[in-house]
Amino acid sequence: MTLSNNAPPAPDRLVNLAAARARHGDRVDLMVQKVRTGDPLADAVVVELDALGRPARAALQRGLAEGRASVPDAPPGVAALLDQVETVPGWVASDLLDAGDRTSLAVPPHWRGLAFAGGSLAHTYRSPAIARLLVGTGRLTSTAPRRLAETGLWNASVVLPGGLRHGAPGYVQTVQVRLLHARVRASATAHGWDAARWGVPINQADTARTWLDFTVVPFTFLEGIGYRLTGEEQAQLYRYWWYVGHLLGLDEELFLGIGNHEQAGELLDLVDSTSEAPDENSRALVGALFDAATTNLAAVPRSPMDAAGWRDLLNALAGRYHGEAATALGIPESPVASVLPLLAAGEAKARGYQLQVPGAVQEAVDDGVLAFRGLIAALGDGNAAYQDHVAAR
């Protein structure tokens, strides 16, 4: 696609467009369009919840848990959203939903924690537009442990077997997260958000970044310690997360058909190469995130390192993954960076052994299921910001 000559100029947050167009062609015009685009279905629901109050919230919650048919008199905005999320696209693989995200479940918990903080969330915070919004929502740097836990709760609910079935926790919470994005969008707009500078708050391009932050980003991060996916594992990962993207309200043309890291990497490069460098908000968020993450890793029973040791390892891995952006993110050079090749060689050997031994991957998946269920039990239910803002009260 190519934007018309009379289209408004691209928001200032998009940079290096000529260089990006040389690599990605008309996909750059798609990115410009998506930075200007929110989520009309979710936005309409937030307007309705504010106007109608508890009855609309109750209809939404019941409809998500029990289905659209359970709320025949739902307000039109709520009804339209429920109709959309309940319509399962033909490309959804039912057996994958039953199995859960086996690719993510099989990752050892300590590696998953490092990739989650140093890869997924740090990459989210690399975007100054997203960082600005998150800091503006209120003391994110001082509430980093809670926000880390809330994101972990959502992710755990999403990847567990059956978690995305209608009415299941992952399905419900993903739509709730989508609506929280709409809530933040409405609040930022009402408080004078500069759309010409930053685009629409939490726009389609930002949602695509989030989708990438739970697919290609953490697993590319893990390659730094020798944990590599097979082609089949990559295919399963992306097919599973296609449906997550659908539930999050992400436009299909941004993700559908991506089936491996190479294809996802093209979208990632488009997102990153047109984004401004991290700013002071990004650095504040990453610093608080790394503090919370390494404290959590050190608190695990029989942890092999204290928080300082985990921080050195996280800095080394994150510095390797983020490259030139690491300095802008405030990630310092690590004294253990030189041992990463040895660590990677050892983990690659263990990973190869796992893939060769019958039943070893399934055992890792089973361990992951237990770990995620334990995480959900520890964090409790109904306290996350994405749940509270739509609660019927």
Residue for token digits 């836990």? 149
The angle formed by the CA atoms of residues 53, 56 and 61, to the nearest 5 degrees, is 120
Q: Which helix (H) or strand (E) holds 302?
A: none
Measured distance CA(157)–CA(141) in Å, rounded:
25
- Predicted structure pTM score: 0.94
Residue for token digits 């919650």? 61
- Beta-carbon contacts of 270 under 8 Å, excluding residues fewer than 6 positions away, are 20, 23, 24, 27, 28, 31
The two tokens of residue 96 are 């994958």
Per-residue pLDDT for the chain (393 aa), expressed as one digit of tens each? Answer: 444 455 678 999 999 999 999 999 999 999 999 999 999 999 999 999 999 999 999 999 999 999 999 999 999 999 999 999 999 999 999 999 999 999 999 999 999 999 999 999 999 999 999 999 888 765 555 678 888 999 999 999 999 999 999 999 999 999 999 999 999 999 999 999 999 999 999 999 999 999 999 999 999 999 999 999 999 999 999 999 999 999 999 999 999 999 999 999 999 999 999 999 999 999 999 999 999 999 999 999 999 999 999 999 999 999 999 999 999 999 999 999 999 999 999 999 999 999 999 999 999 999 999 999 999 998 866 568 888 878 766
